[in-house]
Structure 1
């Protein structure tokens, strides 16, 4: 199967890890982006075909998204992770850190959460198969290469997965902006799965039942809540900070 991707970071990530996936590259005619020159040199060294395309054609192929003047057609050979793969990931880590997205339906937010997860060293991101954004070209572009590095595990039954995590002694922390117990009062150094709710309704009630702890991010201004990827980044890097101080 062939997929269209775009954006400098996304293409660099595939070029670094598996350049054989490229079918061809489309470059914007008369581009003035100096960052593309270095990338083109790397693509040339790998013998990847580069074609010139108009902005109108590229905008149409990406539905008007910010493609940064470069589009690629790639073979979709990435591994599809399943719930059972969690057992392998957990066995490889002494203090696992997982991110669970419960109902994140915007591809931009999915990509941004993957990018945060990669930066924080998250071992896997878990999402339900239903009510979740697809890992499409938009999500991959926003992820800036993280879609190639962070295992994204789609599970049929999130409640069953949470039970599995509990059986393996992970502490389940949910997030809700209406609770008094805040992020900085929580101990995040233990084996941990952090749950971020969807853009509109937050965590589902069934998901909430499996949480060992529910935290909020203290807000000092007038806004009521944060974008899910921003909130995920704040929580994950507080976990990183605490773990580095152990």
Structure 2
């Protein structure tokens, strides 16, 4: 699995050195930066610009690339022991997924369930600025079954919807919590919303009735975590 970009390059070397298989440089570094890279103990493989562009599939690699081990997903059972987890249903944009994971990790959420058979972790790790490397993620196929299992475990289920009750007016449950977010455009189905205990919305002004899913998540997560 290849990741690239200066920030994620050093984040992984500093926090997850054991995951690195190959280290590539496609630029000349100043003495201090080069010395720092050498200190991690990896053999540096130099790439020309054209090869680096091919490795990064045209992405902005900034001359810093790493080949790392595949991300290891966790099981749903492991996440059942957490206090606050996030479920993404129909969210496909890796930029949004990465931003949600970065925010979730920074604000204290403890894990994520992605409804789907696969997730492009190269992009998610990059767009989360590395936070995905430290954040447990489970892949599950059937959201209704997942919600049933979590409810039986004692979780209080919140759905995010533009027509939901305003989050700043609600008393947030003291139980372990789940926040369910729907995809860009379609949102959550009525079946999913009915499975949840409450539906949360955000007060909007100036004629707008929706936010980008990652922006909405940041607001809801902050309100839930700091209620």
- TM-score for both structures, normalised by structure 2: 0.89
Q: Distance in 2 between matches of 1:114 and 1:17?
A: 17
How far the C-alpha of 1:142 sits from its partner, in A, is 0.7
How far the C-alpha of 1:37 sits from its partner, in A, is 5.0
- Indicate how the Cα distance of structure 1 residues 228 and 37 shifts in structure 2: closer, same or farther if over 3 A, else same: farther
- Indicate how the Cα distance of structure 1 residues 44 and 167 shifts in structure 2: closer, same or farther if over 3 A, else same: same
How far the C-alpha of 1:210 sits from its partner, in A, is 1.0
Equivalent residue for 2:219?
Answer: 234
1:103 aligns with 2:90: yes
Q: Distance in 1 between matches of 2:184 and 2:35?
A: 40
Question: SS where residue 84 of structure 1 aligns?
Answer: helix
How far the C-alpha of 1:102 sits from its partner, in A, is 1.0
Checking the alignment, whether the CA contact within 8 Å between 1:177 and 1:217 is kept in structure 2 is: yes
Equivalent runs, 1:52-201 vs 2, <5 Å: 52-76=46-70, 78-87=71-80, 89-90=81-82, 96-130=83-117, 134-179=119-164, 181-190=165-174, 191-201=176-186
How far the C-alpha of 1:110 sits from its partner, in A, is 1.1
Q: Distance in 2 between matches of 1:211 and 1:195?
A: 9
CA offsets, 1:199-239, max 9 Å, x none? 12001233212111111111113333111111111111112
Q: Distance in 1 between matches of 2:208 and 2:44?
A: 46
Checking the alignment, whether the CA contact within 8 Å between 1:127 and 1:158 is kept in structure 2 is: no
How far the C-alpha of 1:189 sits from its partner, in A, is 4.9
Q: Distance in 2 between matches of 1:105 and 1:239?
A: 24
Question: SS where residue 71 of structure 1 aligns?
Answer: strand
Equivalent residue for 2:26?
Answer: 28
Q: Distance in 2 between matches of 1:41 and 1:185?
A: 53
* Unaligned segments of structure 2, at least 5 residues: none
* Unaligned segments of structure 1, at least 5 residues: 91-95
What is the number of residues matched between the two proteins?
226
How far the C-alpha of 1:124 sits from its partner, in A, is 0.7
Question: SS where residue 68 of structure 2 aligns?
Answer: strand
| Cα-Cα RMSD | 2.1
Q: Distance in 1 between matches of 2:14 and 2:192?
A: 37
Q: Distance in 1 between matches of 2:177 and 2:158?
A: 7
Equivalent runs, 1:37-48 vs 2, <5 Å: 37-38=32-33, 40-48=34-42
Checking the alignment, whether the CA contact within 8 Å between 1:23 and 1:49 is kept in structure 2 is: no
